[in-house]
Chain A
Amino acid sequence: MRDGTSTTHGAAVALTALEKRYDSVAAVAGVSLDIRSGEFLTLLGPSGSGKTTTLMMIAGFEMPTAGDIAIDGQSVVGLPPYKRNIGMVFQNYALFPHLTVTDNIGFPLKQRGVSRAERSKLVGEALDLVHLPGYGNRYPRQLSGGQQQRVALARAIVFQPRLLLMDEPLGALDKQLRENLQLEMRRLHADLGITFIYVTHDQEEALTMSDRIAVMNEGKVAQVGRPEELYDRPASRFVAGFIGESNFLPAVVRDVDGETVVADCQGAVVRGLCRKPPDSGQSIVLSTRPERMRFADEERSDSASNRLRVTVSEAVFAGERCRYLLRTADGTSIVLKEPSSATVRRRSVGEQAEVAWPVADTILV
C-alpha cells in the first residue's frame, strides 16, 4: 500500500503432514507443502479433494487433526484466526451488508486501532488500487458481483497482511469478468509482493495465474509444480486427466533405457518418458496431449516420434483448430487437435490414417 516503498515481503508457509479427519473420514490426509515467500500458489482439485479444508486450516477456521502449519517458521496451529494476520477472500465475497464500502474496508484497520484519519487515507488508497475510487459511500448490495469482489480484495489487503488466502474468489462471476479479475489479481500479486494461496477447481484459471500449482485429490497432493511442468510432465493419470485433455494409451513394457521406456502398443513400438523405471513386461499407460499429435501419413518415421495407425471416427471443425476423434486397432479412443489451415487437407470420417507425436511428449503416468 505504501506504493513502492513497501518493505513487506511475503510469508513463507510450511505445511507438514497436515491432516483433518471428521470421525473416520479424512478430508485432508497428509499434506506436506512448502510455499515460498511471495509465491502465487494454487491449490487445484475437484470438489472434495481437501483444498478448501487445507485453506481453512491455514486461516485458522479448522483445527488440524495432525500435522503442523508454520508461517515463517512459527507454528500457528494454536493461534485463533484473528491473531494470524492473514488476509482472506471468500467465494461469496462475505462483505458486511450493514456497512458501507468504506467501513467494510476500514474494518480490519479499526480492529487494529488505526486512527480515523489514517483509516480514511488507507481506505482511499485501497479503493484506488482495486479501481473503485468514489464508491466508498455505497452499500455492498448496491454493487455488482465484480465490484463486490474488488471491495473484498481491498478489505483483505488494506491491513498489509503478508499472506492472502483466496477461496474460489471468482467462482460466482461470469467468464469475461473472471478473466479481467484474473489479470488484476496477477497485477496485485506483482505489486504487493505478498504470498497468495489460491483455491480453485478451474484448471485454466490455475494455469494462467499461478507460479506453482498443487494438484489435490482425495485429501492428498497429487503433484506440485509450475503450470508447464504439470502440463508437460504430469506425474499421474489423475493429473494428466485433470489438467488439460490427455490421451491414454495402454502398453506393455519391453525395455527401459534410462529415462526412456520402450513399450509395445497396438502392434507398434512406442517410446515415452518415465520418472521411475517400470519392470519389463509390466502393463503401463502412456499419456500424450491431443495438440501434440499430428497426421503423418506422408512423413518418414524417425526415432524421435511415435507412430500409430488409426481410423477417423469423428471430425469437428472448431474455427482455429480441427478436433478429430480417432480409434486405434483395438478400439482405444484418441483425440487429435490440428491447427486449422487452408493448405491442410481435412480428414473425413472412416478414413484410415497414421498419427505421429514426439517421444518427449509421451509420459508414463
Chain B
Amino acid sequence: MTVARLLPRTISKAVVGLILLFLGFPIVVVVVVSFSSATYLTFPPPAFGLRWYEAYFGSADWLRPTWLSLAVASAVVALSTVLGTLAALGLGRLPKPLRVVAAALVLSPLIVPVIVVAIGIYYAFSRYGLVGSPLGLVLAHTCLAVPFVVTSVSASLAGIDPRLQQAALSLGATPRNTFLQVTLPLIRPGVIVGALFAFISSFDELVVALFLSGSGAVTLPRRMWDDLRFQIDPTIAAVSTLTIVLTASLLAVAHLLRRRAQGNLGKASVT
C-alpha cells in the first residue's frame, strides 16, 4: 500500500504490467504455438493451423492417458469430497487442543514436500501391487486432495451460525435431517469448491504419477512428461492449451461460487 502511494501512478501501472507479462507470457507462447502449422516447436510460428489438435484427437497414445486422468480425477473427487467433508465436520466438533493436532495431521500432505510423500507411497504401495494400477493413483491422489476439501469446507462451516443447527434440532429435526436439510445446503458452495480443487490437483499431478504410473496407468501429465523427454512436437502445446482451458474454467467456477456464498452470508448477517 505504501509502495503504491510512493510511486507515481504510471510507474506502478507499468510494474504491474511487467509482472502480469512475466506470469502470462509462457501461457501465451504455449497457446500460440499450439495453433502453429510448423512440424517442430518454433516461436513465432510461420503460419497457423489446427494440425496439432488433430494430431492429439487422432492419437490413442494421447487420448488413453487423457481418459485415465479424467477417470482418476473423478474418482478422487468422489472419495476426497466425502472424506474431506466428514473430516471438516469432525474437526469442527473436537475440543480446541485436539483439533489443532488433528487438523495438522489432516493437512500434512500440503506441508510435506510432494516428492517425499511420493517416495513413501511408492514403497508402501509396491508391496500391495498398487504401482502401475489406477487404484493406486486414486488412493494416492486422494491423500493429496483431502486437505483442499477440508480447508474449503472448514471455511464454510466457520461461517455458519451454530444456532441454526440448534434451531433445527429444537424444531424437531433429527441430527441426520439437521445435517441434510440445514448444514449441508449451507456448506454446499464450500464442498463444491473443495471438489473442484480436488479434481484439478489430481488432474495436474505429476510427481506421484511418475512413481506410481508404471507402464499400466499412464496419466496425461505423465504422458506429457515422457513426450517432452523423448520427442518434442507441438502436440504438447495443444494438450497444454486444452489443460489450461479446463483448469481455468474450473477455477472460474470455484471463484464464482465462493463469491456467491460470501454474498449470501454477508447479506444475511447485516440485518
Does the CB pair B177–A97 fall under 8 Å?
A: no
A227 interface contact, C-beta 8 A: no
B101 interface contact, C-beta 8 A: no
Does the CB pair B170–A86 fall under 8 Å?
A: yes
Does the CB pair A85–B271 fall under 8 Å?
A: no
Of B164, B174, B186, B264, which contacts A94 at CB under 8 A?
Answer: B164
Task: Find chain B residues with CB under 8 A from A80 CB.
Answer: 169, 175
Interface string of B155-192 (1 = CB under 8 A from A): 00000010110111111111101100110011000000
Residue among A90, A141, A145, A148 with max Cβ neighbours from chain B (10 Å): A141
Does the CB pair A145–B173 fall under 8 Å?
A: no
Complex CA distance for A274 and B195, rounded to whole angstroms: 71
B267 interface contact, C-beta 8 A: yes
Per DSSP, chain B at the interface is helix
Choose, from A105-113, A260-268, A290-298, the stretch at the interface: A105-113
- A107-B164 contact, Cβ under 8 Å, with A97-B186, A97-B268: no
Does the CB pair A96–B271 fall under 8 Å?
A: no
Interface string of A73-108 (1 = CB under 8 A from B): 000000011101111101010111110000000011
Task: Find chain B residues with CB under 8 A from A144 CB.
Answer: 271
Does the CB pair B163–A94 fall under 8 Å?
A: yes
Does the CB pair B169–A82 fall under 8 Å?
A: yes
Task: Find chain B residues with CB under 8 A from A86 CB.
Answer: 170
Complex CA distance for A141 and B172, rounded to whole angstroms: 24
A143 interface contact, C-beta 8 A: yes
Interface residues on B, range: 20 to 34
Does the CB pair B171–A98 fall under 8 Å?
A: no
Complex CA distance for A111 and B180, rounded to whole angstroms: 12
Does the CB pair B170–A81 fall under 8 Å?
A: yes
Complex CA distance for A129 and B228, rounded to whole angstroms: 73
Closest to B162 in A: A94
Q: Separation in Å of the A81 CB from the closest CB of chain B?
A: 4
Task: Find chain A residues with CB under 8 A from B182 CB.
Answer: 96
Complex CA distance for A42 and B119, rounded to whole angstroms: 65
Of B172, B174, B181, B271, which contacts A148 at CB under 8 A?
Answer: B271
Complex CA distance for A140 and B167, rounded to whole angstroms: 15
Does the CB pair A90–B171 fall under 8 Å?
A: no
Task: Find chain A residues with CB under 8 A from B178 CB.
Answer: 82
B28 interface contact, C-beta 8 A: no
Residue among B166, B265, B271 with max Cβ neighbours from chain A (10 Å): B271
Q: Separation in Å of the B229 CB from the closest CB of chain A?
A: 51
Q: Separation in Å of the B258 CB from the closest CB of chain A?
A: 16
Does the CB pair A141–B170 fall under 8 Å?
A: no
Does the CB pair A98–B172 fall under 8 Å?
A: no
Complex CA distance for A112 and B177, rounded to whole angstroms: 12
Of A82, A95, A141, which contacts B173 at CB under 8 A?
Answer: A82
Residue among A81, A156, A159 with max Cβ neighbours from chain B (10 Å): A81
Interface string of A131-170 (1 = CB under 8 A from B): 0000000001101110010000001100100000100000
Does the CB pair A94–B166 fall under 8 Å?
A: yes
Q: Separation in Å of the A100 CB from the closest CB of chain B?
A: 13
Does the CB pair B166–A90 fall under 8 Å?
A: yes
Does the CB pair A94–B173 fall under 8 Å?
A: no
Does the CB pair B265–A61 fall under 8 Å?
A: no
Complex CA distance for A347 and B109, rounded to whole angstroms: 79
Does the CB pair A112–B166 fall under 8 Å?
A: no
Q: Separation in Å of the B161 CB from the closest CB of chain A?
A: 7
Of A90, A141, A143, A145, which contacts B167 at CB under 8 A?
Answer: A90
Does the CB pair A143–B271 fall under 8 Å?
A: yes
Q: Separation in Å of the A63 CB from the closest CB of chain B?
A: 14
Closest to B265 in A: A97
Does the CB pair A92–B174 fall under 8 Å?
A: no
Of A61, A97, A107, A155, which contacts B166 at CB under 8 A?
Answer: A61
A59 interface contact, C-beta 8 A: yes
Does the CB pair A82–B271 fall under 8 Å?
A: no
Does the CB pair A90–B268 fall under 8 Å?
A: no
Complex CA distance for A82 and B181, rounded to whole angstroms: 14
Does the CB pair A107–B268 fall under 8 Å?
A: no
- A87-B271 contact, Cβ under 8 Å, with A92-B161, A97-B265, A98-B186: no
- A108-B171 contact, Cβ under 8 Å, with A92-B161, A92-B163, A97-B186: yes
Complex CA distance for A46 and B194, rounded to whole angstroms: 44
Of B161, B168, B264, which contacts A141 at CB under 8 A?
Answer: B264
Task: Find chain A residues with CB under 8 A from B171 CB.
Answer: 82, 88, 107-108, 111, 155-156, 159
Task: Find chain A residues with CB under 8 A from B169 CB.
Answer: 60-61, 80-82
Task: Find chain B residues with CB under 8 A from A92 CB.
Answer: 161, 163
Does the CB pair A159–B172 fall under 8 Å?
A: yes
Complex CA distance for A143 and B268, rounded to whole angstroms: 10
Complex CA distance for A84 and B166, rounded to whole angstroms: 13
Task: Find chain B residues with CB under 8 A from A145 CB.
Answer: 271
Beyond the given A96-B168, A145-B271, please list 4 additional residue pairs across the A-B interface where CB-CB is below 8 A: A97-B264, A111-B173, A111-B177, A159-B172
A-B contact pairs, 13 of them (CB 8 A): A59-B170, A60-B169, A61-B170, A80-B175, A82-B174, A87-B170, A88-B167, A94-B163, A95-B167, A112-B172, A141-B267, A143-B271, A155-B171
Interface residues of B (CB under 8 A from A): 161, 163-164, 166-175, 177-178, 181-182, 185-186, 264-265, 267-268, 270-271
